[in-house]
């Protein structure tokens, strides 16, 4: 009996510790869903349409993550930055989307608007939190593209936190053409992370730190590290391109003013057709320290090995 009671007590203690460390989704005002771990903020998903005071109505938008926090609770993303009002935390948008012979620019919030439809999942598990969202790309009241987003946000470690994001796009009725920005042959567009104001920034690829912005450079991952907030602690976020993504390894646009963007389909044109969805998969590695201290290369290698 004594042994049984000790086992039960031990199980209760283990549960109590686990309960304190659990993830929690909490609905906030203004169409925001917050995720916390052990009571500390992890990120927010903006499912309601957002607009900053003093910014033009054109830039009202939804369907993105912001803020995202580093391991110490410092915000590392930015929304409505003055130099690019359309940049919005972690988002996915394309600057050249052609529907019925007319081209729109949802990247810059022109013409097509991404709007929330319904939740597919809002779960917490032992090792991660899971979010599933169905949205539409709307021309007026007509949805022309069905979008589903799946995100798995894993427990933090001493070094970093992994976050997997899968975006699936399928046209509702007629074919839709999508491409990156052709102006200047920059090719940007797609999965994009806008970083918060920072100091002492460093961008790294597998070949090492790069001193200047990269345009259409191929790599399986890219990292952006800096001092965020008011402290002197360095943290960063790397983006890993999934080996099953089209055109892997992808080309990148990196900007020292605060952007990482794996640029599928870049200067090519992707054709979306009914019944033929396109799926894009990425991992974020939110880490302490710079690229080396954050073990970005190691985290990428372990993730790739797990895909086999």
Q: What is the DSSP string of 248-288?
A: SSPEEEEETTTEEEE-TTTTSEEEEBTTB-EEEEEEEEEEE
Task: List pLDDT tens digits, range 163-181.
Answer: 999 999 999 999 999 999 9
Residue 246 CA, chain-centre distance (Å), reads 18
Integer Cα distance of 192 and 214 in angstroms: 14
Task: List pLDDT tens digits, range 198-239.
Answer: 999 999 999 999 999 999 999 999 999 999 999 999 999 999
CB 178 within 8 A of CB 272: yes
User: H or E segment at 301?
Assistant: helix 296-307
CB 45 within 8 A of CB 66: no
HEC secondary structure over 18-83: HHHCCEEEEEECCCEEEEEECCEEEEEEECCCECCCCCCHHHCECCEEEEEECCCCCECECECCCC
Q: Which residue's entry shows tokens 């916390």? A: 36
185 DSSP assignment: G
pLDDT at 2 over 60: no
Tokens of 224: 């952006």
Q: Looking at residue 193, what is its pLDDT?
A: 98
Task: List pLDDT tens digits, range 8-46.
Answer: 333 333 333 344 569 999 999 999 999 999 999 999 999
- The model carries a pTM of 0.92
Residues 6+ apart with CB under 8 A from 102: none
Integer Cα distance of 30 and 147 in angstroms: 22
* Pick from 104, 149, 94: nearest CA to 263: 94
């Amino acid at each position: 009996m004594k042994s049984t009671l000790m086992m039960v007590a031990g199980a209760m203690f283990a549960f109590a510790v686990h309960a304190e460390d659990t993830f929690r989704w909490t609905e906030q005002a203004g169409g925001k869903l917050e995720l916390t771990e052990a009571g500390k903020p992890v990120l927010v998903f903006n499912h309601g349409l957002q607009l900053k005071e003093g910014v033009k109505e054109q830039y009202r938008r939804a369907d993105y993550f912001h803020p995202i926090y580093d391991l110490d609770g410092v915000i590392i993303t930015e929304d409505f930055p003055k130099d690019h009002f359309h940049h919005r935390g972690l988002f996915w948008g394309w600057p050249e989307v052609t529907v019925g012979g007319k081209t729109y620019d949802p990247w810059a919030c022109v013409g097509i608007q991404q709007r929330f439809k319904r939740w597919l999942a809002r779960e917490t598990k032992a090792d991660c939190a899971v979010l599933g969202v169905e949205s539409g790309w709307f021309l007026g009241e007509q949805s022309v593209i069905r979008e589903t987003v799946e995100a798995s946000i894993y427990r933090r470690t001493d070094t970093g936190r992994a976050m997997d994001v899968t975006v699936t796009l399928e046209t509702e009725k007629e074919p839709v053409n999508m491409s990156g920005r052709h102006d200047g042959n920059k090719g940007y567009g797609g999965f994009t992370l806008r970083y918060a104001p920072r100091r002492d920034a460093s961008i790294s690829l597998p070949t090492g730190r790069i001193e200047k912005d990269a345009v259409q450079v191929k790599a399986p991952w890219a990292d952006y590290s800096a001092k965020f907030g008011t402290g002197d602690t360095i943290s960063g976020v790397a983006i890993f391109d999934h080996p099953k993504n089209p055109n892997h390894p992808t080309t990148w646009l990196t900007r020292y003013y605060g952007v990482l963007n794996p640029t599928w389909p870049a200067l090519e044109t992707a054709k979306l057709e009914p019944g033929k969805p396109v799926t894009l998969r990425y991992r974020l590695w939110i880490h302490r320290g710079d690229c080396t201290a954050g073990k970005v290369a190691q985290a990428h290698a372990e993730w790739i090995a797990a895909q086999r």
